[in-house]
Structure 1
Amino acid sequence: MNRVARRFRGLPLRSRLALLVATAVAVAVAVAAAVCWFVVRDALVDSLDDALSENRVPDNWVREMIDENGQCRRTIIGQYDAPNLLKQTVQVVDQTGGSCVVLGKQAIELKEADTEVALRESPGSYHDATASNGSQYRVFTYPLEGTPYAVSAARPLSEVDDTLNNLVLVLVLVAGIGVLGAGGAGLWVARTGLRPVDRLTEAVEHVARTEDLNLRIPVGGDDEIARLSESFNSMTASLASSRDLQQQLIADAGHELRTPLTSLRTNIELLARSEETGRAIPPDDRKALLASVTAQMTELAVLIGDLQELSRPDTGAGGAKVQVVALHDVTRTAIERARLRGPELTITAELAPWYVRVEPPALERAIVNILDNAVKFSPRGGTVEVTLDRGRLTVRDHGPGIPEDELPHVFDRFWRSPSARSLPGSGLGLSIVARTVRQSGGEVTLTAAEGGGTVATVQLPGAATPPPETPLT
């Protein structure tokens, strides 16, 4: 059985469909043929019973065939005045279970039902019986009026069997033609129905062979195949977009890495040439070169860290556990770090309690990036205002602001305003902010502030009180 199942599963899909259709039709035809055979047989037997009942041998003739001792006077073999009785075998049955044939060639076996009719315990009986030569007969036994006997009239069942055998031949022929036709129709339907799947398979093989993600399958209708084609087109479009973004990220990262690496190479070559030629670099110039090398190394480290952050899956599974975090405490810690980076600035804070469910390291990095932006673009002696009210974190600086036409691009990777390209940074900070906030179910916006400067707004879902029995970080 397992071998047959494995062999069946090894067949092509269209062959399996055709085989299943043919099998289903064969079973249906077999059941219908069996039902038809039994119905026709019952109808033929009923017709034979009616013939036996309607064409009785006359009672007075039967009485003449029995002497005063209850013995048959003589047996008539195959001769009688009525032609419709020539096929019948007629025998007389007494109450003791004895019998004698008065018409016909073969004696028919007696059954208990025949004796019951002779004893007047039954008004009549229809049943099958076997003749002395082994043939099957249909028997009708009825009482012989005015005597203690019964009459059994029998006709051969071959009248029914011959018709049934012919019917079987017809049913087998029709069933065979039906199964073959069903198999052919099933194969045609399978080929027609699976043609879109063949096109989809060819498209998948083409993509696997050529890596051409621009291939699209024509979609027609709204059935399962059409939905599968739409899903394939959506998948290839997403893969193409992902590949384009990956290539763009690699190109942008290479461009951003080239600048600090070029500067590092130039400075190190100057220091190496000084050592090789023995021509000392003035102390102030040497100090400036070393400071430049340190700054470029720091910029590289920041850029690599930002790239690692952006390389994490968008599902938020970056290794950190999602926890309930006190947003006001994280913001307060980020403000202290920002004050160290901009000691000449005044940073005010009004922080109302708010608890959110996020990855703590990612949230802290995002808030630090927002504050770093505010510190970077604030004028010396300026003020940065930070407020947190019902999950809405606002950071407002008084710097030069961002032009209106540049606002839609501030969260793009590696995008930097032309006016800020001389300042340190990788252009990835706000991209990381947007990604972290979206993963936490929030929203982030950057707008121009009234009177100059920029307002960064982060809205995160949460509550003013922590959930019960929840450890805070």
Structure 2
Amino acid sequence: MLRRAAVAQEPLSHDDLTPASTAVGPNGGIVTHTPLRWRLAILTATVVAVAVGAVTLVTYWTVSSTLTASVDVELSQKSSLLIDRASEPLQLVHIGTEIERFKSYNPGSRLAVSPPGWTSSRGDNIRLGTDFNPVPGEYFSTFNTVGGERIIAVNNGFGTTVVLAHDMSSTRQLISTLGGILLFIAAMGILLAIAAGMVVATAGLSPLSRLQRAVDYVTRTDDLRPIAVAGTDELAQLTRSFNAMLETLQQSRTQQAQLVADAGHELKTPLTSMRTNIELIMMVNRPGVVNTMSDADLRDMERDVLAQMSELSTLIGDLVDLAREDAPERINEPVLLEETIASSIERVRRRRLDVDFQTDTLPWVLDGDAFAIGRATLNLLDNAAKWSPPDSTVRVRMTQIADDRIELSVADSGPGINEDDRERVFERFYRSPEARAMPGSGLGLAIVKQIIERHGGSIRIEESDDGGTDMRVELPGRPVADDVREPR
């Protein structure tokens, strides 16, 4: 079973460094066979590259904006001083000298000044590259970049205009140098991210590789021993879950082997006895053989054969029901428990006419398998009737113990069950010493417990009021009003 399951899945690649390949999936999509180690490394490198690239762009933009803003602040301060000096009447005579002096102290700058009332400007011919429309009486300034220069034009509202241009080549060179450094750092970061991704992927997938090798070993050798667990991380929890699966599989395999062995043993006993009786009957009826068996013995032997055939048929039916309960298919439908019990009582009453049944039931419905619930109630009632003495009464009572729980009691007047055997009677093929003289396969109560637990219930054994057995079954469900019950 484990081997077929392992083959049905696609195992991890033994060699994490095998070349990547692609194929078309069952839904038309592209399925990649890139090793998980490479995928983790590529994913890590991609995330780091995006982060480094974003930081690099933000840093470059921030530094570039900061440098440009610092140039603008410096130009604003200088233009304010220049426009104040240009507004003084005494400075108009020496305006040319002032311009040259300013340029000597500020290399790389150009200056043009237009005093109040002038229609022309003194200084450099500076092209603004934008419209300059000052409003009389209001301070007005504008910035622009033209031909590698940062230009500010200021008008104080009284006719004085100053145009100052600063060469941005040194600033741009600094920004370009910074961009190159940041690009180099980003490239190195991506390379380091790839290396770190490989290291992290190798270290992180090492326990997974060990788990995969252990799974391959289980698949190859069919050895269901648990896998060693190291640590407490998610992979350790995965290993524990896998060990739990192996334990469950081992238990299932053991139960299957035990079921086959017990079934073979139980089938062998009636078959051997029936074969012996049939051979004796055939020997007596052979031509020329003197019949030394009386008619009464012959009839007793024939009854034994029929009883053994009935026992064999019952055992085979129990095995089929047991296999049916082990099957994964489940039927889920509303089941009227009161009507199911009534139907089971009718069937048991036909087999035990000397036993009376006293019922005290409630309208109750649960969702489940109607056939299985009927089989469970039939087995419970049949077991109670089998152990009840003649002219006794089997008491069937339903009691609601919660809004969604009900208790079903099936009490008989038989010899009861010892406390040491009350748990073991639910085991498959187990029969107490007192029960071995009675017909049966030892599967009836095992089937009952399996059905009850599959439907979310439980079963326990207590002693009845008159010393017999009281089977107590708890089941989920809900009450049904009398006006909505189906007629029987």
Identify the TM-score tier after normalising by the shorter chain. 0.7 to 0.9
Which one of the candidate residues 104, 109, 117 is aligned to 2:127?
109
Instruction: Give the TM-score normalised by structure 1.
Output: 0.78
**Structure 2: where are the runs of 5+ without partners?**
1-21, 400-405
Number of residue equivalences: 446
Task: Pick closer, same or farther for the CA change 1:453–1:140 going to 2, 3 Å.
Answer: closer
Partner of 2:151: 139
Structure 1 or 2, whichever has the larger Rg, is 1
Partner of 2:444: 429
Matched, 1:406 2:429: no
Partner of 1:415: 430
**Structure 1: where are the runs of 5+ without partners?**
67-73, 131-135
Q: 8 Å contact 1:21–1:186 — kept in the other structure?
A: yes
Matched, 1:11 2:30: no
Q: 8 Å contact 1:203–1:215 — kept in the other structure?
A: no
Which one of the candidate residues 239, 247, 251 is aligned to 1:229?
239
**CA distance in structure 2 between the partners assigned to 1:215 and 1:313 by the alignment:** 28
Deviation at 1:29, TM superposition (A): 2.1
Deviation at 1:287, TM superposition (A): 3.2
Q: Which moved more, 1:175-184 or 1:436-445?
A: 436-445
Cα offsets for 1:218-260 (capped at 9, x unmatched): 1533x54343333222222222212211111111111101111
**CA distance in structure 1 between the partners assigned to 2:102 and 2:116 by the alignment:** 29
Partner of 2:3: none
Q: Which amino acid aligns with 1:432?
A: I
Which one of the candidate residues 177, 199, 209 is aligned to 2:188?
177
Partner of 1:258: 268
Percent identity (aligned):
35
Secondary structure of the residue aligned to 1:311 is helix
Matched, 1:24 2:47: yes
Deviation at 1:413, TM superposition (A): 0.8
Partner of 2:17: none
Instruction: Give the TM-score normalised by structure 2.
Output: 0.76
Deviation at 1:91, TM superposition (A): 4.4
Task: Pick closer, same or farther for the CA change 1:45–1:405 going to 2, 3 Å.
Answer: closer
Q: Which residues in structure 2 correspond to 1:138-177 (within 5 Å)?
A: 138-142=150-154, 150-177=161-188
Matched, 1:445 2:468: no
Deviation at 1:163, TM superposition (A): 0.5
Which one of the candidate residues 317, 321, 334 is aligned to 1:309?
321
Deviation at 1:62, TM superposition (A): 8.3
Partner of 2:61: 38
Partner of 1:456: 471
Partner of 1:70: none
Q: 8 Å contact 1:93–1:115 — kept in the other structure?
A: no
Deviation at 1:318, TM superposition (A): 5.0
Which one of the candidate residues 274, 284, 296 is aligned to 2:308?
296
Secondary structure of the residue aligned to 2:422 is helix
Matched, 1:89 2:89: no
Secondary structure of the residue aligned to 1:446 is strand
Q: 8 Å contact 1:207–1:213 — kept in the other structure?
A: yes
**CA distance in structure 2 between the partners assigned to 1:464 and 1:145 by the alignment:** 93
**CA distance in structure 2 between the partners assigned to 1:383 and 1:298 by the alignment:** 25
**CA distance in structure 2 between the partners assigned to 1:4 and 1:163 by the alignment:** 51
Q: 8 Å contact 1:108–1:129 — kept in the other structure?
A: no
Cα offsets for 1:103-135 (capped at 9, x unmatched): 6xxx54344556759x987544432223xxxxx
Secondary structure of the residue aligned to 1:162 is helix
Partner of 1:387: 396
Deviation at 1:302, TM superposition (A): 0.6
Cα offsets for 1:16-61 (capped at 9, x unmatched): 2322222222222222222222222233234434555549888689
Q: 8 Å contact 2:325–2:450 — kept in the other structure?
A: no
Partner of 1:371: 381
Q: Which moved more, 1:384-393 or 1:414-423?
A: 384-393
Deviation at 1:305, TM superposition (A): 0.8
**CA distance in structure 2 between the partners assigned to 1:139 and 1:259 by the alignment:** 112
Secondary structure of the residue aligned to 2:356 is strand
